[in-house]
Amino acid sequence: MANNFFITTAGYFGSSSLKYLPLAHGTQSELTSLIDSSIDNTNFVIPFDLSIEKIFVNMTRSMNSDPQPGNTKISLWKAGEKYSDDVNVSIEGLGYDTYDLNEVRVFDFKDQPNTYKAGEIMQITMQSENIIDYFSMTITGEYL
């Protein structure tokens, strides 16, 4: 039986720019590049050998007039280098205020390069064709 792994993260992007996810739970500033002051936010140190299988994402818009995110891509990175291809999901029908707040989209990495060894650094990026407002996500995998 496999030993499951997960980590959660959440945030607000407020744009369509490619951004690094706040995996290390340091400062929650929006980051579009990897720099020395970003490691407390972007760099997740892998605790044991593992593979990333799926990323579950819940998003909302901050107001009805905000566009839907549309084509949204998530990528795995290893030690500052892009590791996987983009996994794309079209995200439409997001709610706002108190309406339709519980939709979850799945980004599947099973067919991508997705393994990390203990002590390696993982980063994950997300970008959409339109604005990403609030998001919550769970990154899942298996210990190897």
Is it the case that residue 66 has pLDDT exceeding 60?
yes
Query: What does pLDDT average to over the chain?
Result: 89
Pairing verdict, β 115-116 and 44-45: unpaired
Tell me the C-alpha distance between 137 and 48, whole Å.
21
Contact present, 126 and 59 (Cβ < 8 Å) = no
Say which amino acid occupies 115.
T
With H, G, I as helix, E, B as strand and everything else as coil, classify residue 38: helix
Q: Is the pLDDT of residue 111 over 80?
A: yes
Q: Which CATH number is 114's domain given?
A: 2.60.120
- 43 or 87, higher pLDDT: 87
pLDDT of residue 27: 59
pLDDT at residue 119 is higher than 90: yes
Q: How many domains does the chain have?
A: 1
Looking at residue 77, its amino acid is W
Helices (H), 17-143: 39-42
Are residues 8 and 138 in contact, defined by beta-carbon separation less than 8 angstroms?
yes
Query: Contact at 8 Å (CB) between 46 and 121?
Result: yes
User: Does 65 or 39 have the greater pLDDT score?
Assistant: 65
Task: Provide the residue type at 75 as one letter.
Answer: S
Structural domain boundaries enclosing 124: 3-143
Per-residue pLDDT tens over the stretch 8-64: 999 888 889 899 888 887 555 556 666 655 666 788 999 999 999 999 999 999 888
Per-residue pLDDT at 97: 81
